Amino acid sequence: MRPLMLQGHERSITQIKYNREGDLLFSCSKDQKPNVWYSNNGERLGTYDGHQGAIWCLDVDWTTSKLITGSGDMTTKIWDVEHGLVIASIPAKSSVRTCNFSYSGNQAAYTTDKAMGQNSELFIIDVRTADSSLAEQNPILRIPMLQSKITSMLWGSLDETIITGHDNGQISIWDIRKGREVNSVNDHTGSINDMQMYKDGTMFVTASKDTTAKLFDSESLMCLKTYKTERPVNSASISPIMDHVVLGGGQDAMEVTTTSTKAGKFDSRFFHLIYEEEFARLKGHFGPINSLAFHPDGRSYASGGEDGFVRVNTFDSTYYEPLF
Amino acid sequence: MPAPDIKSSWADEVELDYGGLPPPTEVIENGFKYVTEYKYNKDDKKTKVVRTYKITKEVVPKTVAKRRTWAKFGESKNDKPGPNSQTTMVAEEIFMQILNTKEEEKANDNLLDLTKNIAKCRICNGEHWSVNCPYKGTSMDTNLMEKKASAAAAAATEAPKPGKYVPPFLKDSQKGGMGGIRGRDDTAAIRISNLSESMTEQDLEELIKRIGQHTKMYLARDKNTGLCKGFAYVHFRQRKDAAAAIEILNGHGYDHLILSAEWSKPQNN
């Protein structure tokens, strides 16, 4: 395969996401401008200019009309996807680590960091009539995290729950009507860097600093499978058409300069979803992979790395041949 | 006689005529778009850049088609339609590396075995460090010391006289180390020849995939036409696979031609 290399960022990529149809690919990095690309030919549609700090997270709603970004400049911004303009900018007390639209696109959740004397907090806002007045409105729900910081977050089934991953490896599920924790598990021992839902929402895959990725049932939080590697895992994604999971990670960014590209293990690693066995690797990045996303049609996937590149890999025909 | 006014030497005129860069051209030909541009490179030399695009048609949902018509914004506002070569590049060809976990496990087991028996006594060859040897300081120990001393003396007399220059590459070959100049392991490499012109990498992969895992393959292509030059090199992961490949492919009929396969010979300059 000949991957497409998208070079729109000056600093390391923090998150990439496809929209629902998969025709657009959104990327954000530690520089201040999220980018949007046409996924089939790698053409850049535009950049969203307005943030003043590193962008940690982004999400796009199911109609591809709104984009939400969370930044180190202590704001969450909601954008008009088509024109690249800010609809609303919501100030926070510390930097915004994760943000997600609910499945319906009516609400959005975002979480802030534990920093500057502030606790990590989870906010839920109504975005149906988002405009500049959203900054003054109170959030629908606000849950402070007393012990640990949220490092990743997902909406649960029917927009009734929120699943959070914490820096101590804890995974919790919150009922947003009752506003309290329903269940929590401690299967991971390191920070949860990323969580991604399977296409039907019944299970999700986590990527953790403890060098494993795990598959969880999204109702009961039961750990179903474990994928073991030797390096911290930064991101994991489940294929929508095959029983495959792709893991990305590698040496910690601060240790990269003292490691050779061969020893750093910056490959994307493909595991069988059920047998937990690694069956393939794909080289490409020359730094750790920070974010991975499968195209909704499962025929390609994109990876964003510490090296600042986004690579869109389209699978060869050999990928679809049966393995076992 | 009125002298024709000579502007400059012919060499300058040639420069003047072609001084500017030719305008970029776009040709659309049976499903491909060829964009030709001329640029100056770092050394102020003219270079020609030809990009080939494949024009494809896709059936997509209405919403997706509508999004294709969106105007560009932000930093891409002034980009022309189509990918901008500043931000979008095609990376070099890579292959998925299919792992055979069983083989790897075996290799790891071997490593573990090695580490288990890492301690080996110099005196009695037991599985402990020499320091802890029960025979330390006995006649066995002193015998060993004497043997060593005499061996060292013998080696000293055999060593080549100093002062004679030995080129670095000969030094390596005397040691019989890596062998090839590039230090690549060519022991499991084979050469397949008498391939047809229409051979492609995919065909070759198809052909050798069933025999065993390969680490690298090279299909010689003509620089201008891009057609196969008739031979290819394949590096297998294991020598036994390479041997099997020679066995199978030598004399094998493919594309109306009889292939011949042999071990790849090291380059001798």
Burial class (CB in 10 A: 0-12, 13-18, 19+), A56: buried
Inside any domain, residue A117 = yes
pLDDT exceeds 90 at position A240: yes
Q: How many helices (H) and strands (E) does chain A have?
A: 1, 28
B29-51 as b/e: b if 16+ CB within 10 A: eeeeeebebeeeeeeeeeeeeee
Report the residue of chain B nearest A10, measured CA to CA. Answer: B87
Q: Rounded to whole angstroms, what are the CA distances from A199 to A109, A244, A295, B188?
A: 20, 13, 11, 44
Q: How many CA atoms lie within 13 A of B230 on its CB side?
A: 4
pLDDT confidence of residue A152: 94
Interchain contact A180–B (C-beta under 8 A): no
CA distances to A312, B193, B220, B234 from B201, in Å: 22, 14, 10, 11
CA distance, residue B154 to nearest chain A CA (Å): 42
Q: Of B183 and B13, which is predicted with more confidence?
A: B13
Rounded to a whole number of angstroms, the CA Rg of chain A reads 18
Higher pLDDT, A47 or B32: A47
Our count of domains for chain A comes to 1
Q: Lowest mean pLDDT of A68-77, A118-127, B23-32, B133-142, name the range.
A: B133-142
Residues 46-75 of A with CB under 8 A from B: 46-49, 63-64
**Mean pLDDT to the nearest integer, A152-164:** 92
CA atoms within 13 Å, Cβ hemisphere of A271: 23
Query: Mean pLDDT over residues A106-114, rounded?
Result: 92
Given the DSSP bridges, would you call strands B25-29 and A310-314 parallel, antiparallel or unpaired? unpaired
Q: Which domain holds residue A100?
A: 3-319
Nearest to B89 among A7, A37, A278 (CB): A7
pLDDT higher than 70, residue B130: yes
pLDDT above 90 (res B99): no
B176 band by pLDDT with thresholds 50, 70 and 90: very low
User: How many C-beta atoms surround the C-beta of residue A164 within 10 A?
Assistant: 27
Q: How far is CA A181 from the centre of its chain?
A: 22
Give the model's pLDDT for residue A153.
94
pLDDT at B150: 64
| B108 pLDDT above the threshold of 60 | no
Whole-number pLDDT of residue B181: 43
User: Does the pLDDT at position A256 exceed 50?
Assistant: yes
Put residue B256 in one of left, alpha, beta given phi > 0 → left and psi -120 to 50 → alpha: left
Report how far residue B86's alpha carbon sits from residue A5's, in angstroms, rounded to the nearest whole number. Answer: 11
- Is A23 close to B94, i.e. CB distance below 8 A? no
Q: What mean pLDDT is reported for chain B?
A: 74
pLDDT value of position B179: 41
ipTM of the complex: 0.76
Task: Output phi, psi for B48, to 5 deg.
Answer: -110, 130
Q: Is B222 left (phi over 0), alpha (psi -120 to 50) or beta?
A: beta
| A2 contacts in chain B (CB < 8 Å) | 90-94
What CATH number does the domain containing A165 carry? Answer: 2.130.10.10
Average pLDDT over residues A85-105: 92
Give the number of beta-carbon pairs within 8 Å between A and B.
113
Q: Give the separation between CA B234 and CA B205, rounded to whole angstroms.
A: 9
**Which tens digits make up the pLDDT trace of A179-196?**
889 999 999 999 999 999
Stated pTM of the model: 0.67
**What's the rounded mean pLDDT across residues B96-116?**
58
Q: How far away is chain A from the Cα of B69, in angstroms, using its nearest Cα?
A: 10
DSSP state, residue B101: H
Residue A151 maps to a domain: yes
Q: Which residue of B has its CA nearest to A62?
A: B63
Q: Does A43 touch chain B (CB under 8 A)?
A: yes
pLDDT at B32: 83
Preferred mutation among A24, A47, A265, A275 to probe B, highest tally of B CBs within 10 A: A47
Between A116 and A211, the more confident residue is A211
Question: Is A324 within a domain?
Answer: no
In whole angstroms, what is the distance from residue A186 CA to residue B146 CA?
A: 63
3-class DSSP state of A126: strand
Please report which confidence band the pLDDT of residue A130 belongs to, taking 50, 70 and 90 as the band edges.
Answer: confident
Q: Which residue of B has its CA nearest to A63?
A: B63
User: What's the pLDDT at B123?
Assistant: 74
**Chain A contact probe: residue of B57, B59, B73 with most A CBs at under 10 A:** B73
Q: Is pLDDT of B142 > 80? A: no
Tokens 């028996």 found at: B117
Domains of chain B: 10-91 (no CATH), 189-263 (3.30.70.330)
Q: Which residues pair with B89 in a beta bridge?
A: A5
User: Which of B68, B77, B91 has the CB atom closest to A3's CB atom?
Assistant: B91
Res B105: pLDDT:
53
A147 inside domain: yes
CA distance A299 to A292: 14
* Residue B235 β-bridge partners: B189, B216
Could you give the CA distance from residue B93 to residue A1 in angstroms, rounded to a whole number?
A: 6
Q: Cα separation of A194 and A204, whole Å?
A: 10
Q: Extract the runs of DSSP E, i.e. beta strands, from chain B.
A: 25-29, 32-40, 46-54, 88-90, 97-98, 189-193, 214-221, 228-236, 253-254, 257-258, 260-263
